[in-house]
Amino acid sequence: MKRTVALTIAVILVVWLSAALVRAENERYALTVGMCRAAAGQVDLECLRKVQTRTGWWWHLFYALTRWE
């Protein structure tokens, strides 16, 4: 029983961290290519929340895990 609970918590943690990593990579790439610039060089935060820089979430996860800069 303890092993099942620990495994469930581990899976939930991995999914949650993966989702956070996907969001961060999407924002990082949007800022890198300049997709969300506002006036005077500021960043448009609303754009940053809504922009999709790649065709799927799996690409964000792939690039985040394989590209170390």
Give 38's pLDDT tier (boundaries 50, 70, 90): confident
Give 26's pLDDT tier (boundaries 50, 70, 90): very high
Higher pLDDT pick, 41 / 34:
34
The pLDDT, as a whole number, for residue 28 is 92
What is the token pair recorded at 37? 């610039």
Extended strands (E) in the chain: none
Q: What is the value of pTM for the model shown?
A: 0.83
Torsion angle of alpha carbons 23, 62, 15, 6, nearest 10°? -140
Q: Which amino acid is at 63?
A: Y
Domain residue spans of the chain: 2-66
